[in-house]
Amino acid sequence: MSPLLKTAARLLAGRTADNREPPAQGGPEARRAHQLSLLEECLKRLPAAALPRNLKLSFSVAEAADCPDISHVELLSARFENRLYPLNIPEETFVRMWVERLASGEYTALLAHAGNKLAGFVAFKGPVEEGYICALYISPLFFRKGVGRTLMELSALFCRAEGGMRLTLKVEPLNYGAISFYQSLQFRALAVKSSHLIVFQKELLPC
């Protein structure tokens, strides 16, 4: 991703150009510290069998500097979603939207990295314990390598660790690949929302 977009994302998030943190503010810093410790705890609990066999992944909680990569992966990956209404949004607008989403504190995104590449990400909207997943996008370079399944396992642990009982998400009706994917993870279709999206849900087992 271009250094220009990364700098723009940092500036939008209130970081200085030389990447120093903005002045301390209790809320966002405490939230980030909590998310990082939650991720560490969940990674310890993630069974080795849940990780891809032929791909070494590392994980992080998204911050503003990740937004260009997140947007890039989402826009590439969304081409395979068979959306009824395709995403025709310029990448810069998408980056700004993700920066604003993360800064609002309403969204939490977990990233899977393969070396220095973003292999995919999953994002919660609203409190993690409510378990509403608003985005899961794997870079097409990494399709069918187990990245999606691993991110969903991690999301389940993340949500459960916050006291959540279920994961819920919406899928495009013609996105047959994703429908098979969620079914393979024991999600079940519940209803149709916003006139066309299929709601999938999975109850979580206690930790």
Ligand X SMILES: CC(C)(COP(=O)(O)OP(=O)(O)OC[C@H]1O[C@@H](n2cnc3c(N)ncnc32)[C@H](O)[C@@H]1OP(=O)(O)O)[C@@H](O)C(=O)NCCC(=O)NCCS
Task: Find the binder of ligand X among 28, 131, 146, 164 (CB under 6 A).
Answer: 146
Site size toward ligand X, by CB under 6 A: 22
Contact residues for 71 (Cβ-Cβ < 8 A; gap 6+): 91, 94, 95, 97, 98
When asked if residue 110 is in the footprint of ligand X (CB under 6 A), the reply is: no
Q: Report the nearest approach of ligand X to the CB of residue 31 (Å).
A: 25
When asked if residue 177 is in the footprint of ligand X (CB under 6 A), the reply is: yes
Task: Find the binder of ligand X among 6, 72, 101, 145 (CB under 6 A).
Answer: 145
- In the complex with ligand X, which residue's Cβ is closer, 77 or 155? 77
When asked if residue 164 is in the footprint of ligand X (CB under 6 A), the reply is: no
When asked if residue 132 is in the footprint of ligand X (CB under 6 A), the reply is: no
Q: Report the nearest approach of ligand X to the CB of residue 77 (Å).
A: 4
Q: Which long-range contacts (CB under 8 A, 24 or more apart) does 40-49 make?
A: 41/161, 42/154, 42/157, 42/158, 42/161, 43/154, 45/157, 45/207, 46/150, 46/153, 46/154, 46/157, 47/153
- In the complex with ligand X, which residue's Cβ is closer, 68 or 146? 146
The residue ranges that bind ligand X (CB under 6 A) are 77-78, 80-81, 136-138, 143-149, 169, 171, 175, 177-178, 180-181, 184
